[in-house]
Each structure stands twice: as C-alpha cells, then as structure tokens.
A = this chain, B = another copy of it.
Amino acid sequence: MTRSEENYLKTIFHLGGGDAKSITTNAIAEQMETKPSSVTDMAKKLSEKGLVDYVRYQGVSLTDAGVKTALSIIRKHRLWEVFLVKKLDFTWDEVHEVAEQLEHIKSEKLIDKIDELLDFPKYDPHGDPIPTKDGKFQERDEKLLSEIPINSQGVCVGVKDSSVPFLKFLDKNKIALGNTIKVLDKEDFDNSLRIQMEGKEMRISHQIAANLYVKKNN
C-alpha cells in the first residue's frame, strides 16, 4: 500500500464513497488538487487490488477492504492529532499538516501504543470521531449551531470547517470545544445569531454558526 493509494482511499471515504455511493473522478480530483486523468489511472489500480469498485465513466466506491483501509488511515491521522495537541502542546490549527505525514507510518504496534498513551480518545482535536481498531465509529447526536431553535442550548463538540483561518478565528473569539452555547436570538436579515457562551453574550454570523457542531442538552 503506497502513500498515494492510501491518500486516494481516504479522500474517497471522506467524499462518501464508503456507502456504496459512486464518487466521480472530478470530485476526487478537485479534493486532491490533482487532474481527473490521474484519478482514472489510480481508480484502475485500486480496482485491480480489490479496494474500490470502478465502473468506467461512472466513478468509484470503496469495497469492504477499501473502507477498512481508509478507516485505519483516518484512525491514525486523528490519533496523531490528539497526540500532538495533548502531549506536545500543538494548537488545533497546527496538527493537520503533520498528521498528514504521520498517518502513513507503518507500524501497528506504534499506533496502538499511541492510542494507549492517550487513554483511548474517542474524538480528535476538531471533534471528529476516531474509528476503533476494528473500524467502528463513535457516532454522536450532533447538530449545526445554525440549526437548533432559539432558546435551546448545547455543548460545542466539533467543527465542520477545520481550516486554519476558521480555527484561528474561533481561538481569537474564545470559542472552544466543550463550551456551552445558548441561542438567544436569530436575526432574520442575515441569519446571524445572538448567543450566550460561558457567561458572555456575543453575536456570530451565520457562516460561523453553520460550521460549529453542538450536542443539544436534553
């Protein structure tokens, strides 16, 4: 399994190809910042290896073996992210790039020991669930902050957009995972929200609210 193959499987999974849904060549190419023709070449190779189902002109989806491999890469990525934050004091906007490299280290013992060292975390620094060793996800009942009703409240548990600028924006505004947020009011004009968070009141734009996951209380 080459690094490139692993990256393709991971991308296909993230685009939804784990549910027998066909992912188009173009979608994969765009996500990976490569050319559709390169994706076609790789689709053939992964198909040969039994990791994807590929129908010419129709796109690819992951086989069971492909899902399993993708989940093991994602597991490694997220565990390394937790390690970097918890053990090496990286900030949550610094970890992704390094984890992109670390996720390809080949040693089952290594990642199991990292998992143990971290006391088997269930979520990564961005609130994304960490698949278990046998490929199961910790599902969670979460909603976008923009989609919960006025006067309801929840705990911030994840980000939809985990780009560096967004994460830095959240830091600057002291919005962190674990914070309890109550929606006080919604502005019809621009869909911005007035919220109460950790005692303080503030206003956030729809774009922010639509990229924060909360777990509703009760």
Contacts and interface: CB of A to CB of B under 8 A. Distances in A.
A107 B101 contact: yes
A198 interface: no
Interface in A69-109: 84, 87-90, 94, 97-98, 101-102, 105-107, 109
B90 A113 contact: yes
A204 interface: no
A55 interface: no
Nearest to A110: B98
Contact of A88 (B84, B98, B101, B117): B117
Nearest to A97: B107
Q: How large is the interface on A (under 10, 10 to 19, 20 to 34, 35 or more residues)?
A: 10 to 19
Nearest to A84: B110
Contacts of A110: 84, 88, 98
A151 to B, nearest CB: 43
B113 A89 contact: yes
Nearest to A116: B88
Contacts of A90: 109, 113
A146 B98 CA distance: 45
Contacts of A15: none
A27 interface: no
Interface string A60-74: 000000000000000
A89 B89 CA distance: 22
A109 B94 contact: yes
